[in-house]
Amino acid sequence: MKNKSLVASALALLATSAGAQSMTALKFNAGDNGGALGVAQSKFGRAQTMSTAIVDINDVGNAEIAVKFDETCEQDRCDISLLYYGGGSLAGDLGDP
């Protein structure tokens, strides 16, 4: 249930222009990024080129990982996914229980 409320919060934030601006202002890292790349690769595989940014989108002190799929970028627009990462195990992307 926590993930469903996180989904609603994240989608509400991303739907706003402020949310869109804050996502574009993220500094994505192409390297390991403290293990964030490994988490993203475990979810999406290694076939795609990805960059990651560690964020706290709901301000509760738990890390979420923003994943940018670099090969999808066109005119400064890229496909991005947000992974909720809690307690040392991958809890999944926002839609997973």
Amino acid 57: pLDDT: 80
Range of the domain at 86: 2-93
Considering its fold, how many domains does the chain have in total? Answer: 1
Amino acid 92: pLDDT: 47
Residue 29's identity, in one-letter code, is N
Amino acid 24: pLDDT: 53
Handedness of CA 90, 94, 95, 97 (dihedral sign): positive
Using alpha carbons, select from 66, 30, 27 the residue that is nearest to residue 50: 30
Handedness of CA 18, 20, 21, 25 (dihedral sign): positive
Amino acid 9: pLDDT: 52
pLDDT block averages, 10 residues each, the chain of length 97: 50 48 73 92 92 86 89 92 67 44
- pTM beyond 0.75: the answer is no
**Mapping DSSP to helix (H, G, I), strand (E, B) and coil, where does residue 97 land?**
coil
- On whether the CB atoms of residues 44 and 50 are closer than 8 A, the answer is yes
22 CB-near residues (< 8 Å, 6+ apart): 13
Amino acid 1: pLDDT: 47
